[in-house]
């Protein structure tokens, strides 16, 4: 393997280079290890992300963020290191802090936005965003994913974190003020 690109499932584009060179590719391969002894899974969804592996031949691996990887050679098998892989994907802005796929417009953006919302209840914060017509999804008790056109956020008992399109951080601060959320950067 010489390089690996990630792309949105079915996008057909070149995607984003996520590993190049022997060490990076080996590190990613370690995270993509599947349990060869497990029974192959059958899922009716298309998957969440594709890894296009370039080497002697090109292979496409389909990641299901629920914890499995599909390839033409082995079918769909459970990942050995799902949590580590999700953290790796979050650190590269391929998935949100809530672990769901980000739109490719957010890929590779840095830095994450992190706000402390003193004394705020995550459910109330999520409700304020929902009333302002942002998409809100419960991901765990007291943990909510908040999605807007230019920001993808997670609110939980630690505060508000996520990623915003470059240049929109001042607008996010305005939105927090408009929603009556006192925050500390």
Q: What is the pLDDT of residues 11-40, one digit of tens each?
A: 667 778 888 888 988 899 999 998 888 777
% of residues, the chain, pLDDT over 90:
12
Per the CB < 8 A criterion, the answer to whether 109 and 93 are in contact is yes
Position 111 scores a pLDDT of: 57
Q: Are strands 49-54 and 3-8 parallel, antiparallel or unpaired?
A: antiparallel
- Which value, in Å, is the radius of gyration of the alpha carbons in the chain? 18
Q: Could you identify the residue written with the tokens 């630690």? A: 158
Position 110 scores a pLDDT of: 58
């Amino acid at each position: 393997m010489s390089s690996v690109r990630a792309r949105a499932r079915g996008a057909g584009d070149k995607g984003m280079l996520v590993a190049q060179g022997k060490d990076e590719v080996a590190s990613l391969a370690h995270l993509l290890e599947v349990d060869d002894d497990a029974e192959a899974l059958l899922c009716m969804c298309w998957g969440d992300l594709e890894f296009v592996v370039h080497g002697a031949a090109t292979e496409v691996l389909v990641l299901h963020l629920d914890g499995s990887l599909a390839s033409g050679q082995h079918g769909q098998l459970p990942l050995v290191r799902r949590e580590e892989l999700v953290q790796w994907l979050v650190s590269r802005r391929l998935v949100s802090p809530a672990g769901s796929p980000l739109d490719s417009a957010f890929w590779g953006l840095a830095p994450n936005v992190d706000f402390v919302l003193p004394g705020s209840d995550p459910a109330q914060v999520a409700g304020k965003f929902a009333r302002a017509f942002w998409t809100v999804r419960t991901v765990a008790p007291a943990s909510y994913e908040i999605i807007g056109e230019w920001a993808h956020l997670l609110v939980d008992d630690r505060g508000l974190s996520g990623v915003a399109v470059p240049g929109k951080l001042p607008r996010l601060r305005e939105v927090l003020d408009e929603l009556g959320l006192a925050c500390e950067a």
